[in-house]
Structure 1
Amino acid sequence: MKIIKKTLIFLLLIAVLIFVAGWFYAKTLQPVYAGEIEIKNISEDVTIHFDDIGVPHINAKNQKDAYVALGYVHAQDRLWQMELIRRIAAGRLSEIFGKELLKTDVFFAGLGIEEAAAETIATLDKNSEAYVLTQSYLNGINQYINEGKTPLEFTLLGIEKENYTIKDVYNVFGYMAFSFAVAHKTDPLLTEIKEKLGTTYFNELVQVNTENLTINKTEVSEIKENMSVAVNKIMSSLPVATFIGSNSWVLGPEKTKNGKVIFANDPHIGYSQPSVWYQNHIKTPNFEVYGFNIALMPFPLLGHNKQYAYGLTMLANDDLNFYVEENSPNNKNEYLTAEGYKNYKIIDKTISVKNEKDTTFQVKVSRHGPIMNGIISHLEDDRPIAMNWIYTQLKNEQLDVSYEMSHAKSLVTFKNAVSKIHAPGLNVMYGDAIGNIAWFASAKLYQLRDSLSSKTYLNGASGKDDIVEFLPFSENPQAINPITNYVYSANNQPDSVRGKLYSGYYQPQDRAKRITELLQVKNDFTKNDVADMLYDVKSSTASKIANDFIKNINQSNLSASEKKAISILGNWDGNYLKNSVGATIYNRFLYEFLVATYKDELGNSFNLFMNSQLQDQVLPLQINKAQSVWWDNIKTKDVVENRQEIITSSYKKAFSFLENQLGTNVEDWYWNRVISVEHEHAIGKAGGILRKFFNVGPFETIGGNEVINNQIFNLDSTGVYKITAGPSTRRVIDFSDVENSLSILPTGQSGRVFSEHYKDQAEKYVKGEFVKMYLNDSDIQKSENILVLKSKKE
């Protein structure tokens, strides 16, 4: 008995020791939010107050010191995120994750991002303020790398830390630009439809570009001034977030209760853990900005201070084209141009793979860009296909753009900054304390010859399909202080350019229509009204589409339960609330309809079409076509299906599926039974205990596709909707009370799993709540967590 007792005491002591050791180890991995740390390359001490959600408020005597400090604290919270995002464009994920990500690395390494970055960096003005402050920021990151605690993820994966350079910054710019692009998925699909199915099928899809549109109108008024498939798989396999869409609207003084501008923005980005944005507040004697930074970007893409606020949405213009080159019959390394045959530029690439031999390959580059055959797997084509991407083809001024946006002195200087954006195309939104509001479609727009569509492959050999002209920024769609007293953007179609709607991959009108519906009905908006709008989940189009479905169902042989479900769907108001039954029926019905209408013709390419912008655009038009080549199921011999047959059979399949999935009581088919959100960490994706440790969630939520609170999921055969993307932050800046402006992140400020700020905003986020963005010094000074970076003399 004594032996058993001693053994139990011994085991208990071991358990206590393991717990204590684990606790101490966890403590060493937490960010340092208080105390003193000596660092180099600052001229004077920098004081940082961390507020109650972990946002650093950096108070420095000059900007160089401030940006060293920003780099240091950004790294201590987000070094793992920085490491992942810098590796994507360089094709270096396989080094840490193994051969499973080799295709991803080959794809990104072949895009030319690194080569374009090298050319840009070689021509940078090393004395410019943007360059100097970027180097200060990188210096702060590297000091943390060399002297700070190693993140747990580095230890688990055996990653050696490496210092960062400005090349890494440009690699992040390149990754961000490509994740905005849509043409790499849609152009090959439309080319295949046109070449294999014919122009009738093709024309029925592309004609939707001029119908069912809510258009952002161009209107420039006086400025107020004062004296101061395969790619889908590749993109979905990435361990960091991809950029998708967004909402923003800015209300002029005439639309608000307090007579001051109110600014709102919620960029839609793939959910991940840690969250995309790192909040920070910098203040020096001559500069201040409260910013939201992407990892390794020193200057915020979203920001505000007491004078102005800015943000962005994706423009979705077509900035990427594919050209069919013609190889020489005598030399595979030559291709035809209007001036005769020219040599491809050959670039040798090497990918390091964890626990495997290095992989080497070659990229051929024509005058249009890299040849993507073998690099992008769904380009299964004997013809050499070159990718012509504005981002790598033109001068890159993105570093200056982000610096100047965050350092603007007026709307005039801000406009000058965003005029330099070439790609990706962005809707840049602006509002200020003196009453100006503005929207700029910022991108390098271009013209092809008349009647040429950029939505399919172009002829690379003749030269006739090349870009004819790049347009001056003055011709870009934009609005400054319009007569409506508001500007907005929801990735929808912008106004005409030179008399034509500019080609792009714009989202359907759903969110834009809902935003304008809500903005038009009142002129006394408050900050809380705008915050409520950001959480709105009513679709402006789904209930009409549902009733268009219902009109074409043959109900003569339906059961009582099937008719009851139709009645519920018909009375659904388009709200995606937790207890909505209509939302559940609608989305399964929609899936079955898309399969029945398109899958027989598209075959394996159906997955490229499903959940695409093209699918969203074509839907309302297709339902209302009495005659369409798409109605016939080409797999049924001697039978030609019509609209009613397709829609009726789709409804019956949807009902049967839901009955098996959720039970026979239709009234219990609640939306929250089929939808959820989980923020996945790159390591948490492995599942098991790692999922529980690193991931945040899952949570019940409200919302759905293409509502303002855009909770983006894929329709598929499972009938379970796992949200993959949504608002990466929600921000409301009210210039009548700018020091109490609002924001929220999907999870938390820190990427360190042992930090108290790893997921402290997650519950608030799914409930539509907000936290305060502190600007007032007296509020900031109340913080209990004060970190002083002491100047270390060498």
Structure 2
Amino acid sequence: MKRTLTTLGVIIAATAAGAAWYSESSKPQRSGELTLAHLDAPVTVRYDERGVPHIQAANEADMYRALGFVHAQDRLFQMEMLRRLARGELAEALGARLVDTDRLFRTLGIRAHADDYARKMDMNSPAAKALLAYLDGINQFQGSRPAPVEFDLLGIEKRPFTVEDTLSVAGYMAYSFAAAFRTEPVLTYVRDELGADYLKAFDLEWHPEGVVGQTLATNDWNDLSRLARLSQQALVEAGLPQFEGSNAWAVSGRRTASGKPLLAGDPHIRFAVPAVWYEAQLSYPGFNLYGHHQALNPTASLGHNERFAWSLTMFQNDDLDLIAEKSNPDNPQQVWYQGRWVDLEQREETIRVKDGEPITLTLRRSAHGPIINDALGAAAGKTPIAMWWAFLETENPILDAFYQLNRANTLDKARTAAEKIHAPGLNVIWANADGDIGWWAAAKLAQRPDGVNPYFILDGSSAAADKPGFLPFSANPQEENPERGYIVSANYQPQSPTGVAIPGYYNLPDRGQRLNQKLAQADVKWDLNNSQALQLDPGTGYAPRLLAPILDELRTAATGEREQQLVEQLASWNGDHELDSVPATLFNQLAYELTNAVMRDELGDAFFDSLLQTRALDVALPRLTADAGSPWWDKRGTEPVEKRADIVKVAWQASLAHLQKTFGDDSAKWIWGSAHPLTHNHPLGQQQPLDRLFNVGAFAAPGGHETPNNLSHRVGPAPWQVIYGPSTRRLIDLADGAHGLGINPVGQSGVPFDRHYADQAEAYIKGEYLPMHFSEEDVKANSRETLVLKPAN
């Protein structure tokens, strides 16, 4: 027994020592010296207390090569997963369950488009040279350092990162913006299967021109429903960033305490581990920028220095149309286009599957775009549904755009850079120390024939699906130095200076209106402190607006003193989603139960679930509660005709029953902090026990759906997992641009067990801000480790 215990102890000690060694070997090296080929001179990388690298190089190529190396140290697995998702290669690493996701992304054409775009790129352009140097740094790290632990767990073999990978990831980002893919099938179903009276709730004009001319069969509707669900599932299961919305504002010096412009920005993105942004300060003689970078992109998507700063929000213009093609009954590989039968283009691609046989896909394309129901394989219905997508149809020199934006210190330079962003649509909000502020809704806006409503599936056999061209950039919504002294961007529908309509899947105006209401206060001088309070505002006017028309019916539905008290709490509630709020919990459960009772019977489970993922529902709910005569209130399959009061009563009772079952009978304990947790999920953390190793959280989260502090969840029953929110919070006063404030939702590092993997998570959820060190004095004072990258020769 003694020998056995001794042996066991040795094994345990050896295993622990091996695990510790393995863990340490895969962590980033942030001190000492390393050799990096192709450098012209040594590069110094100083890491601050948050693990942010401050890179000093002798020239531009060395700077971007060093960025690639240190970015890969912290985020190589994120880079690998993003390129695999975008290029339809996840099944090769994760197995057969990701085949459907790979098939979808192959069908979208992102991979083929990226490969074609790379062949046409001018590799001598400054942006291309920056990308090549950056990718060289990534590949040198990958070739010389231990693989991340996730590579070993999944058996991923290292292979070089390419220009095509970067361009494919740009396509994935654009696709994650494309709300039309998940919205148009639902809206078309409502119009064609339920009728115009039901469509009124969605606040869309009724346009009979230019929509599907033929009757869709049941299996075609099933296709559209499955595609909408597959689209959403692909983004969720990959555990990777999905862009959802954003806040940003710029305030001129006339309205700030410092007398110089102030920029605030917090892009709203799906939470994940690692976080989407990689912070780094980059400098060489004549260039100095603190930037927030996306994986596989050398240029900063968000950035600032002492002279200028910018942030981004989603434009949310509709740059994707679904088009029902008319098939030739004598030849299913032909469709009717511009007065004749035209052959569909075809190509084959192969999906490699871990522990399985390769799968060969036959992918088709019409003149309008990829046939997206090919993503369903042999189960697809008879009607080919094409996808016209601006990302595939424009020049889209987005690498050049952001290369220039990283250097845009004047209005003219910023405007010129923004004009090069074609897809996805982005709002660029910009300010400089000279006193200028500007906003450009950057996108190539498609022209559509008169009378065509792109919110519905279009008829490919008519001219309605064709695009005569694109509008000039001067027609894009934009402002420069407005008289009111500030600019707000919060995903609501903007106005074109030419008055042209710009279709899109915009967010409700409530969040933007709340920000505008605060920023319009003439007696307030804005600084970093009150700007923090505005970014962290947990309130919304949406909830009181939705509740107001049905409060009397709720009072009638409530039985007993305690229920009456709960109704009165809702009636007096201002919409703030504080951690200790009971009305916030009650309202969000009631919103779901109302939706469920009103819409599921008409839509069926599949389309109902799809609707819950769209912004169209946000528009519909307040309109429904305000319209007692809407046909939605009558339940199908029941003999009596239900009224609004009947459904409100059903929803109220169901809300109470669910909250009692979930949180107990004491309604005082139904507080928002208990019902609204945030967990940052790693792609490998979806299974136990790996969730305990890789995920971060859970944290009780304030804020909520469409509050300025947009820690948001999907409409559904309690508890509500926070899905997306501010991916960073940044504040830069250009009177002192060297001392901006920011925060990362989790940590700078994507390497499990590294000290910077989750070291900002608690500060983030508490609403704290941390300095973004920029000046030489601050960087030197806050450097914790220094890595020197030396030339190989």
In the superposition, the TM-score normalised over structure 2's length comes to 0.94
Give 1:635-784 correspondences, 5 Å limit. Answer: 635-637=637-639, 639-688=640-689, 690-717=690-717, 719-782=718-781, 783-784=783-784
1:206 to 188, 200, 203: 203
| Paired residue type of 1:651 | W
Deviations 1:249-298 (A, max 9, x none): 11110111111111111111111000100000101111111111110011
Distance 2:285 2:374 in 1: 54
2:244 maps to which residue? 244
- Per the alignment, residue 41 of structure 2 pairs with 44
User: Which TM-score applies when normalising by structure 1?
Assistant: 0.94
Alignment partner, residue 226 of structure 1: none
In the alignment, what sits opposite 2:60? 63
CA distance in 2, matches of 1:411, 1:654: 52
Q: CA 1:35–1:665 in 2, change beyond 3 Å: closer, same or farther?
A: same
Counterpart position of 1:30: 27
Q: Counterparts in 2 of 1:255-266, with a 5 A limit?
A: 255-266=255-266
Task: Summarize deviations over 1:8-49 as a string: whole Å, max 9, x none.
Answer: 444434433332332222211110000000110110000010
Q: 1:218: which partner in 2?
A: none
- CA contact under 8 A between 2:541 and 2:574: conserved in structure 1? no
Match of 2:129, SS state, is helix
Distance 2:550 2:276 in 1: 38
Distance 2:667 2:106 in 1: 51
Shift of 1:363: 1.0
Q: Could you tell me how far apart the structure 1 residues matched to 2:379 and 2:433 are?
A: 50
Look up the equivalent residue of 1:659 and give its one-letter code: Q
Contact kept in structure 1, 2:87 and 2:111, CA below 8 Å: yes
The reply on whether 1:152 has 2:153 as its aligned counterpart is: no
Between 567-576 and 105-114, report the one with greater CA deviation. 567-576
Equivalent residue number for residue 785 of structure 1: 785
Moved more, 382-391 or 236-245: 236-245
Counterpart-to-counterpart distance in 2, 1:656 and 1:65: 63
Change in Cα spacing, 1:169 to 1:672, as seen in structure 2 (3 Å) is: same
Q: Which residue of 2 aligns with 1:84?
A: 81
Counterparts of 1:556 and 1:427, CA distance in 2: 45
Q: Determine what percentage of the aligned residue pairs are the same residue.
A: 36
Q: Kindly tell me: are residues 386 and 611 of structure 1, through their superposed partners in 2, closer, same or farther at Cα, counting changes over 3 Å?
A: closer
CA contact (8 A) 1:401 1:417 kept: yes
Amino acid at match of 1:181: A
8 Å CA contact retained: 1:713, 1:721: yes
Deviations 1:629-681 (CA, angstroms, capped at 9, x unpaired) = 111111212x1111121112211221222223222322221111211010011
Are 1:193 and 2:190 counterparts?
yes
Give the equivalent residue in structure 1 for 2:547. 546
Question: What SS does structure 1 have at the residue aligned with 2:737?
Answer: coil
Q: CA distance change for structure 1 residues 44 and 161 in 2, over 3 Å: closer, same or farther? A: same
Write the letter of the residue equivalent to 2:291.
G
Task: Work out the CA distance in 1 between the residues paired with 2:174 and 2:230.
Answer: 19
Partner of 2:616: 614
Q: Which residue among 166, 179, 182 is the counterpart of 1:182?
A: 179
CA distance in 2, matches of 1:175, 1:381: 26
Comparing 367-376 and 572-581, the one that deviates more: 367-376
Supply the distance in 2 between the matched residues of 1:124 and 1:658 (Cα, whole angstroms): 57
Q: Secondary structure at the match of 2:483?
A: coil
Deviations, residues 432-458 of structure 1 (Å, cap 9, x unaligned): 111111111111112222221001111
Q: What is the alpha-carbon distance in structure 2 between the residues aligned to residue 373 and residue 625 of structure 1?
A: 37
Count of aligned pairs: 769
Which piece of structure 1 moves more, 463-472 or 309-318? 463-472
* Among candidates 604, 611, 630, match of residue 628 of structure 1: 630
Q: CA RMSD in A?
A: 1.8
Displacement of 1:330 in angstroms is 2.2
Shift of 1:138: 0.5
Instruction: Give the letter aligned to residue 632 of structure 2.
Output: W
Which SS does the other structure have where 2:248 is aligned? strand
Which whole-Å CA distance do the structure 2 matches of 1:108 and 1:174 have between them?
Answer: 10
Instruction: Report the Cα distance in structure 2 between the residues aligned to 1:335 and 1:710, rounded to whole angstroms.
Output: 45
**What SS does the corresponding residue of 1:375 show, helix, strand or coil?**
helix
Q: Which moved more, 1:413-422 or 1:650-659?
A: 650-659
- Secondary structure at 1:644's aligned position in 2? helix
1:370 shift after superposition: 0.8
Q: Say which SS state the counterpart of residue 139 (structure 2) adopts.
A: helix
Secondary structure of the residue aligned to 1:126 is coil
Task: After superposition, give the CA deviation of every residue in 1:180-213 in whole Å (9 maximum; x if it has no partner).
Answer: 0000011111111111112222243233899xxx
Q: Tell whether the 8 Å contact from 2:547 to 2:625 is kept in structure 1 after alignment.
A: no
Letter in 1 for 2:763: K
How far the C-alpha of 1:779 sits from its partner, in A, is 1.7
Q: Do the aligned residues in 2 keep the contact of 1:554 with 1:644 (CA within 8 Å)?
A: no
Distance 1:617 1:377, change over 3 A: farther
Q: Which moved more, 1:650-659 or 1:99-108?
A: 650-659
Verify the 8 A CA contact 1:446 1:469 in the aligned structure 2: yes
Counterpart in 1 of 2:226? Answer: none
Q: By how many angstroms is 1:517 displaced? A: 1.5
1:723 is paired with a residue whose SS is: coil
Letter in 1 for 2:753: F
C-alpha separation between the residues in 2 aligned to 1:378 and 1:428?
43
Letter in 2 for 1:737: D
> What SS does the aligned partner of 2:463 have?
coil
- Match of 1:250, SS? strand
More moved, 386-395 vs 522-531: 522-531
Partners of 1:758 and 1:142 lie apart in 2 by: 22
Match for 1:93: what amino acid?
A: L
Q: What is the CA-CA distance between 1:375 and the residue it aligns to?
A: 1.1
Query: Per the alignment, in what secondary structure is the counterpart of residue 265 of structure 1?
Result: strand
Unaligned 5+ segments in structure 2 are: 208-228
Q: Distance in 2 between matches of 1:208 and 1:533?
A: 35
SS in 2 for 1:438: strand
- CA shift, 1:399, in A, is 1.1
Structure 1 unaligned runs (5+)? 211-228
Q: How far apart, in 1, do the equivalents of 2:686 and 2:422 lie?
A: 35
Q: Deviations over 1:49-108 (max 9, x none)?
A: 001100110000101000000000000110000000011121100000001111000000
Q: Distance in 1 between matches of 2:409 and 2:659?
A: 57
Whether the aligned pair in 2 keeps the contact of 1:188 and 1:379 (CA below 8 Å) is no
- SS of 2:441's partner is strand
Q: Which amino acid aligns with 1:58?
A: I
